[in-house]
Amino acid sequence: MMTVRLGISGIGQQGGAYAGFISEGKVKNMVIGAICDIDPEKKAMCAEKYPDVPFFDNYIDMLESGKVDAVVTTVPHYLHPEMGIEALKRDIHALVEKPAGVYTKQVKELNVFAATKPDVTFGIFFNQRTNPLYQKLKELIDSDEIGKIRRTNWIITTWWRPQGYYDSSAWRATWEGEGGGVLVNQAPHQIDLLQWICGMPKKVYSNVKYGYQRNIAVEDEVTTLLDYGNGATGVFITATHDVLGTDRLEILGDKGKIIVDDSKKITIKRLNTPESEMSASMSMQDVMKIFMGGDVSDVYSEEVLEFESVWGAQHIAVLENFAANIVDGTPLIAPGSDGIHGVALANAIHLSSWLGKEVELPIDEELYLAELNKKIEEEKSLVNQ
Amino acid sequence: MMTVRLGISGIGQQGGAYAGFISEGKVKNMVIGAICDIDPEKKAMCAEKYPDVPFFDNYIDMLESGKVDAVVTTVPHYLHPEMGIEALKRDIHALVEKPAGVYTKQVKELNVFAATKPDVTFGIFFNQRTNPLYQKLKELIDSDEIGKIRRTNWIITTWWRPQGYYDSSAWRATWEGEGGGVLVNQAPHQIDLLQWICGMPKKVYSNVKYGYQRNIAVEDEVTTLLDYGNGATGVFITATHDVLGTDRLEILGDKGKIIVDDSKKITIKRLNTPESEMSASMSMQDVMKIFMGGDVSDVYSEEVLEFESVWGAQHIAVLENFAANIVDGTPLIAPGSDGIHGVALANAIHLSSWLGKEVELPIDEELYLAELNKKIEEEKSLVNQ
């Protein structure tokens, strides 16, 4: 059985964690092939910690070294598409970090190129897709357990970050360095899960607060109304200033409701009769009977599923799944081409707030890029003042 | 001690319930002075049920009969302002049903007239304001227990109504008969509570579904984004098609968070240090220590308050408070002039959806009325086809 030699491009917090998992033998069929970073301090650190692993200060050299079969792009978001393309070009399997990129135009280039390399594995690091809770949730929705979706509502404000986090690097929380705030750095997981499980909305209206509770240029709070185009609506809320963060996802369907609390508990309420049939057949007197002390078990049954989440297990699962796809063709949980959906949604949320109006998906990607570049220019002129 | 003789104008479901409470002696200092209804069947019913109570088929006659000191307007929403004015004009104390009216222009007329009659009691039937839970919640917010509000989020979809409810009367859920759906009939309580406790937003954007899951002209689902103009934001969601209704209000402040579940339980999380100070002083390492298995009691303390709600108790409390104001000047829990806020907010939500854009409060009330009249005309032409 083949062992995948992974090149880790960027050995910061994420890259360092992955190196740890792999070197501790926690990832089946995977070893560290090489490490690459532009920071000399990282080179010194790796020389001590991973003395037997080849180190490069240029990722192209690493890709061409013959030391790696695959690469993971733990580098700033803007670089993910470029590195993905350069790897695939050399038939090196690519696992891009989330988000797939900052703007859809660059992610589309990556996807188009990847499509020309169907035999090279192309994955994206959506580790939360490996969370058994969200796999179960997707299964419940896909198998029509609560019927056609009418509403989604996710408050995900467990992404608390103090000012010190933003001040830790000059590129953090800047338009030029990250291309956004909570939408591109913390919430891409939930944005992906929401579209993966409930589908992409057709229209988006957002109220986005830039530098609201933090001294940053980018967004630290997002409130978005989603319109799925088929009558269904949704709300997506995220923020980095709620230290007592809420994580509550509610999905209402014609045949029931699912509530996910803290990404740990799924409560499924299944109606005995679809709501539309209840509406058609019941009188207000019947309704009063049920709700004024009647027996609600006549109406629905409830099931509660609890999940344990172990930190790191999801990341290991993504690496293993990626290796398995290379080794024996096991289907990818998060194919790389899926990365564009979350970027498209995040871009739409930004653009709606910039234009002050509802936007339709897919958005005008040239307009988005022009607006983003304006932000970058404004930011530069502020820094240079 | 004076006993208030209440005239009940309209003896439908609400008027009938109030008559029951009063005749059973449940309302201190109040008796039924007279009943009025245009429906001959109601006259026959009252002759049997309340043989000693004078009955009128015209409310002006009732107001001028000398039989009533006060009146409650349990009639269709459009009529509340007119009846309130006619009562006050004759120095008859007026308790208007919610909503105070359908559009702010008519409610303003009522308020302006009421201001000329400071010695006549003018109340509005916001029974949920007497709910000890919401009184406690208001006290918590007013006394700055969780600091300056940053976000509000209310999902209140416990207003399930089957099609049969809407079909029970021709005027129900029509623009001409009710002037709206869930916003003017079911949710005015929560719209009032939200503004009473958290203040009025400055801007509103809404996604409103008209006849989405019911065969009606008016709205059965509302998703609204609130902007308080000081950085704070909010979301308000209501619907009549969720048989497994959610009632969850979350208020985030600089010093903590309050979650109200099912209008029965308040969970108060008080931060030991305001969030803004935590952000300013903590490093990402400190954050990791807390959230990766650290002791959260270092960060906040939690208190849970449970409340029992007895059906009818709130309505009795409003009637008693209204009588007490007349008898001995006890302050009103819901002064009539407060009714305009909820109407203004509901109008703004409608208008935003009609215009497809964010609207500022106060909205252009002439524009609102013109748009409402358009809906009424459209409805008429459909009926006449």
For residue A288, what pLDDT band results from cuts at 50, 70 and 90? confident
Any alpha helices (H) in A163-259, and if so which ranges?
Answer: 163-167, 188-198
pLDDT at B383: 66
How many angstroms separate the CA of residue B377 from the nearest CA in chain A?
25
Q: Which residues of A touch B284 (CB under 8 A)?
A: 161-162, 164-165, 168
Q: In what order do the strands lie in the sheet with B359-360?
A: B300-306, B265-271, B256-261, B247-253, B149-156, B233-239, B219-227, B203-210, B359-360
- Distance set, CA B299 to CA B140, B272, B275, B302 (Å): 20, 6, 10, 10
* CB–CB contact A282 B357 (8 Å): no
Angle between helices B339-355 and B104-115 in degrees, nearest 10? 160
* CB–CB contact A292 B311 (8 Å): yes
Q: By the CB < 8 Å criterion, does B276 face chain A?
A: yes
Fill in the DSSP letter of residue A331.
Answer: P
- Parallel, antiparallel or unpaired: strands B122-124 and B93-96: parallel
Q: Complex ipTM, two decimals?
A: 0.94
- For residue A3, the SS3 value is coil
- Phi and psi for B53 in degrees, rounded to 5? -95, 125
| C-beta atoms surrounding A372 within 10 Å | 21
Cβ contacts of A194 within 8 Å, gap of 6 or more: A152, A154, A234, A236, A249, A345
Residue A95 β-bridge partners: A72, A123
Tokens for A127?
């580790």
Mean pLDDT per 10-residue interval, chain B, length 385 residues = 94 95 97 97 97 97 98 96 98 97 97 98 96 97 98 97 93 95 97 98 98 97 98 98 96 98 97 96 82 74 91 92 98 98 98 98 97 95 69
pLDDT in tens, A137-171: 999 999 999 999 999 999 999 999 999 999 988 88
Q: By the CB < 8 Å criterion, does A209 face chain B?
A: yes
- For residue A186, the SS3 value is coil
Q: For residues A246 and B153, what is the distance between their CA atoms, to the nearest angstrom? A: 11
Q: Which residues of A touch B281 (CB under 8 A)?
A: 162
Q: For residues A28 and A301, what is the distance between their CA atoms, to the nearest angstrom? A: 41
Residue A57 has pLDDT above 60, yes or no: yes
* CB–CB contact A358 B356 (8 Å): yes
Cβ contacts of A234 within 8 Å, gap of 6 or more: A151, A152, A153, A154, A194, A198, A201, A225, A226, A227, A228
How many angstroms separate the CA of residue A283 from the nearest CA in chain B?
5
pLDDT at A116: 98
Q: For residues B63 and B43, what is the distance between their CA atoms, to the nearest angstrom? A: 17
Tell me the mean pLDDT in the region A305-327: 93
- Distance set, CA B79 to CA B98, B111, B113 (Å): 11, 14, 15
Contact present, A4 and A93 (Cβ < 8 Å): yes
- Distance set, CA A165 to CA A181, A240, A379, B252, B299 (Å): 12, 11, 19, 22, 18
pLDDT at B93: 98
pLDDT in tens, A168-216: 888 899 999 999 999 999 999 999 999 999 999 999 999 999 999 999 9
Q: Which residue of A has its CA nearest to B243?
A: A275
Work out the widest C-alpha separation in chain A, in whole angstroms. Answer: 77
Q: For residues A81 and A41, what is the distance between their CA atoms, to the nearest angstrom? A: 26
* CB–CB contact A284 B164 (8 Å): yes
* CB–CB contact B244 A300 (8 Å): yes
Q: Which residue of B has its CA nearest to A155?
A: B153
- Distance set, CA A70 to CA A109, B158, B276, B333 (Å): 20, 52, 43, 69
Contact present, B122 and B93 (Cβ < 8 Å): yes
Residue A295 has pLDDT above 70, yes or no: no
Closest CB from A212, A227, A283 relative to B231: A212
pLDDT at B309: 75
Nearest CA-CA partner of A250 in A194, A289, A206, A200: A194
* CB–CB contact A223 B235 (8 Å): yes
Q: Which residues of A touch B271 (CB under 8 A)?
A: 243-244
Nearest CA-CA partner of B234 in B193, B273, B269: B193
pLDDT at B126: 96
How many angstroms separate the CA of residue A212 from the nearest CA in chain B?
7
Closest CB from B150, B242, B299 relative to A252: B242
Contact present, B109 and B83 (Cβ < 8 Å): no
Residue B39 identity: D
* CB–CB contact A252 B237 (8 Å): no
What's the 3-state SS for chain B?
CCCEEEEEECCCHHHHHHHHHHHCCCCCCEEEEEEECCCHHHHHHHHHHCCCCCEECCHHHHHCCCCCCEEEECCCHHHHHHHHHHHHHCCCEEEECCCCCCCHHHHHHHHHHHHCCCCCCEEECCHHHHCHHHHHHHHHHHCCCCCCEEEEEEEECCCCCCHHHHHCCCCCCCCCCCCCCCCCCCCHHHHHHHHHHHCCCCEEEEEEEECCCCCCCCEEEEEEEEECCCCCEEEEEEECCCCCCCEEEEEEECCEEEEEECCCEEEEEEECCCHHHHHHHCCHHHHHHHHCCCCHHHCEEEEEEECCCCCCHHHHHHHHHHHHHHHHCCCCCCEHHHHHHHHHHHHHHHHHHHHCCCEECCCCHHHHHHHHHHHHHHHHHHHCC
Q: By the CB < 8 Å criterion, does B162 face chain A?
A: yes
Q: Which residues of B touch A209 (CB under 8 A)?
A: 231, 233
How far separated are the first and last CA of chain B, in Å rounded?
A: 59
pLDDT in tens, A106-139: 999 999 999 999 999 999 999 999 999 999 999 9
Burial grade of A33 (CB within 10 A; 0-12, 13-18, 19 or more): buried
How many angstroms separate the CA of residue B204 from the nearest CA in chain A?
10
Q: Compute the Cα dihedral for B269, B271, B275, B276 and give only its sign.
A: positive
Q: Which residues of A touch B153 (CB under 8 A)?
A: 155, 237
Q: Which residue of B has its CA nearest to A297?
A: B244
pTM exceeds 0.80 for this model: yes
Cα torsion A98, A99, A101, A104 to 10°: value is: 140
Q: For residues A331 and A129, what is the distance between their CA atoms, to the nearest angstrom? A: 13
Q: For residues A260 and A193, what is the distance between their CA atoms, to the nearest angstrom? A: 13
Q: By the CB < 8 Å criterion, does B17 face chain A?
A: no
Q: Which residues of A touch B160 (CB under 8 A)?
A: 287, 291
Residue A347 β-bridge partners: none
How many angstroms separate the CA of residue A322 from the nearest CA in chain B?
27
Q: Which residues of B touch A12 (CB under 8 A)?
A: none
Q: For residues A22 and A164, what is the distance between their CA atoms, to the nearest angstrom? A: 30
What is the per-residue DSSP string for A267-319? EEEEESS-HHHHHHH--HHHHHHHHTT--GGGTEEEEEEE----TTHHHHHHH
Residue A252 identity: L
